[in-house]
Amino acid sequence: MKRDEAGAIFFICLGLFYTLISMKHDMGTIDNPQPGFFPRVMGILMVLLSTLVLVGSFRRRKQDKGLSVVWKEFDIKNIFFAVAIILCVVLYLLAMNTLGFLFLSPFLVFVIAWMMGGKSWVINAVMGIVTSGLIYWTFWIIMRVPIPLGSFWGK
Amino acid sequence: MEIFQGLMLGFKGLFTGMNLIAVFVGTVLGTIVGILPGLGPAATMAILLPITLGMGPAAGLIMLSGILFGAQYGGSTTSILLHIPGEASAVITCIDGYEMAKKGRAGAALTAAAVGSFVAAQLSFFGLTLFAMPLARFALRFGPPEYFAIALVGLLILTNVSGGTFVRNLMMIVLGIILSTVGMDPISGLIRFDFGYYELGKGIDYIPVLIGLFGMGEIIQWVMTKEEVPIRLPSIRLRDLYPTREEWKRMTSPIFRGGFIGFFTGLLPGPGAITATYISYTVEKRISKRPEEFGHGAIEGVAGPESANNAGSVGQMVPLLSLGLPFSALTAMMLGCLQMQGITPGPLFMVQRPDVFWVVIASFYLGNAMLLFFNLPMVGVFAMVLRIPMYMLMAIVTLIIIVGTYSIGNAMLDVWIMLGFGIIGFLMRRFNYEAPPLVLGMVFGPVMERSMAQSLLMFQGSLLGFWKRPVSGTILTVAAIGFLVFGLVKLLRYQRRPVKQGITV
């Protein structure tokens, strides 16, 4: 499948799904529009526009790139690091309420810096501790944002 | 007189601790991100947006504006010295700026860029000061049909001037509007599309989406490419910065023309600063007595576009401050900054909050003078930021983004939304879809839905009602004629193209 076709099909499905769920709400009439009116217009518009893109993509199928363009132009190592960084952030967010910002953040910065190319363990560790401390100071002390400090530590 | 008094009030308020710090921090950060290729003003503003919450509305907006204007200045430095545009709006400066640098005139090119930016921005601030108030007064008469017409036409213009094609940009706008319908219906108050989740019932805030698309998306893109800047900076001495008398003479008119072009281009929806540079460059080349020098180090090719991009970024502020309608992703962030503080910019903004409005305007004048200082005598110092490894910046920025997004509403859902849209932002680039139309669709969605429903109620369902009111009727008619002419020109051009190329939608 080509890239433009895949994109257009995704948006057609999205538009159809949105139009279908918007039918739960009353549409009303044009002189008295109800909560379902505007969403239904937008859903139909999305389907129409995506269909136009799909038709266009069929017309110039030969020039279009394949779906592999999403990853093909990048180094496999960089793709691995990008996915790993996203997973690290996901784990960080999942563990945030339990282990807290101050415990987790230096590790996150350390790991991300290492994956992004920072090979000195000492520099990465110092950067992790200093950055976390400064952010904690800015957000918690100055801006009074209730950053989760971790239920594990009884906070 | 009223404007003069307002400015005095603004300058009085500006010289307080936080506001002055905000001008300094904003302009320094703006210059730095302008110099650094890869981290643009959009990403920086998105990253720092939550921090403005603790600064107050005036200081927050001042800092964001400083970043926006500073990036226009800083972007020219690497364009001229390294042939690497720090900013999209500095791409055109690469052409003649770098050629001048190769001929040993880098200093003169940097001066042309900085002085041009300074003069054009000061003139545009003056235009903003003069235009914003009458426009806001005029807008007080606007009702739902007028707001609907402005939003509709603005978004349609945006589809033509943004990077992608018309249909794709329109799709992104519709997607943005669709996302904005999650949560409470603006008319009846009914909760829609929450899928049973209480948090979704509150709606999807556009700020985490914006931070995800521009901040997190940028980080993912950088990790995938890991583009480092080759650093071979030529040394610039202070005396090298003086242009010759001939160069001064040649750059004066382009600066004023660029300023004029930039300001009026900036008023239109879309990336005004970027579009203005291309228009300015084309105009300068057309009217030049030495068009053959363009591309080989013509100082007009630096002075004109650099003046235009600064003036363009000022022009963008007019619809935001006077109508409350942001027509670019950057001004949408500024709107977000004010909304987070409980302020809605628009016609009543300068009446209800003159303390904020005039301080912000006054800060533009001061910030511009600071930027001239940072970008001429201190250009060498700022260029040294290119020596900071990108991995350090990106690792720190990742943590700031996460905590910053959380701080907006103290909700983890916002952080998940931000992360999700970071991934979506990266995929959108790969699939050739633009992010700014999506964000603006989210910003304009509620305005359009509310004003459309109210207008249809007012007109008892008759769409002709929009044409019966002078302002909305004029806007829609002018826009319809404009689109018709634009469409015809495109059709004629298409007919003259070779058959094999086909249509791109």
CB contact under 8 A, A49 and B503: no
Burial of A87 by CB count in 10 Å (0-12 exposed, 13-18 middle, 19+ buried)?
exposed
CB contact under 8 A, A143 and B402: no
What would the pLDDT profile of B312-323 be if each residue is shown by its tens digit?
Answer: 888 888 888 888
**CA–CA separation, A52 vs A3, rounded Å?**
15
CB contact under 8 A, B453 and A135: no
Contact status, residue B315 vs residue B265, Cβ threshold 8 Å: yes
**CA–CA separation, B205 vs B409, rounded Å?**
10
* Residues sharing a CB contact under 8 Å with residue B61, sequence separation 6 or more, in sequence order: B52, B334, B337, B338, B356, B360
A-chain residues near B462 (CB < 8 A): 31
The tokens of B8 are what? 């005095």
Per residue of chain B (505 residues), what is the pLDDT tens digit?
Answer: 677 888 888 888 888 878 899 999 999 988 888 877 666 788 788 888 888 888 888 899 999 999 988 888 887 887 788 776 666 677 788 888 888 888 888 888 888 888 998 999 888 888 888 888 788 888 878 888 998 998 888 888 777 765 668 889 899 999 999 999 999 888 888 899 888 888 888 889 888 898 898 888 888 888 888 766 555 666 666 677 788 888 888 888 999 999 989 888 888 776 677 778 888 888 888 888 888 888 888 889 899 988 998 888 888 888 888 888 887 888 888 888 888 888 888 888 877 888 888 898 889 888 888 888 887 777 777 777 767 788 888 888 899 889 888 887 788 889 999 999 999 999 998 888 988 889 888 988 988 999 999 999 998 888 888 888 988 899 899 888 988 888 888 778 777 766 554 444 4
The tokens of A155 are what? 């906070």
B-chain residues near A60 (CB < 8 A): 502-504
CA distance B461 to chain A (A): 4
CA distance B225 to chain A (A): 7
CA Rg, chain B, in Å?
Answer: 23
Q: The dihedral of CA B92, B95, B101, B107: what is its sign?
A: negative
Q: What is the DSSP letter of B423?
A: H
Per-residue confidence (pLDDT) for residue B222, from 0 to 100? 85
Q: Measured between alpha carbons, how far apart are the two ends of chain B, in Å?
A: 52
**CA–CA separation, B385 vs B133, rounded Å?**
39
**CA–CA separation, B440 vs B154, rounded Å?**
10
pLDDT at A75 over 60: yes
CB contact under 8 A, A35 and B168: no
Per-residue confidence (pLDDT) for residue A126, from 0 to 100? 94
Per-residue confidence (pLDDT) for residue B504, from 0 to 100? 46
Provide the pairing of β-strand B191-192 with B183-184.
antiparallel
The tokens of B439 are what? 């964000």
What would the pLDDT profile of B236-268 be if each residue is shown by its tens digit?
Answer: 666 777 888 888 888 889 999 999 898 888 887
CB contact under 8 A, A118 and B395: yes
The tokens of B292 are what? 């053959």
**Closest CB from B174, B459, B502 relative to A60:** B502
Contact status, residue B240 vs residue B103, Cβ threshold 8 Å: no
What would the pLDDT profile of A123-150 be if each residue is shown by its tens digit?
Answer: 999 999 999 999 888 888 777 778 888 7
**Closest CB from A7, A115, A146 relative to B431:** A7
- ipTM, 2 dp: 0.92
B-chain residues near A52 (CB < 8 A): 167, 505
CA distance A49 to chain B (A): 6
| Of A137, A81, A49, A87, nearest in space to B169 by CA | A49
CB contact under 8 A, B220 and A92: no
CB contact under 8 A, B453 and A101: no
**CA–CA separation, B333 vs B91, rounded Å?**
23
Burial of B395 by CB count in 10 Å (0-12 exposed, 13-18 middle, 19+ buried)?
buried
| Of B139, B110, B84, nearest in space to B378 by CA | B110
Per-residue confidence (pLDDT) for residue B501, from 0 to 100? 47
State pTM to two decimals: 0.81
Average pLDDT, chain A: 88
Collapsing DSSP states into helix, strand and coil, what is residue A100?
coil
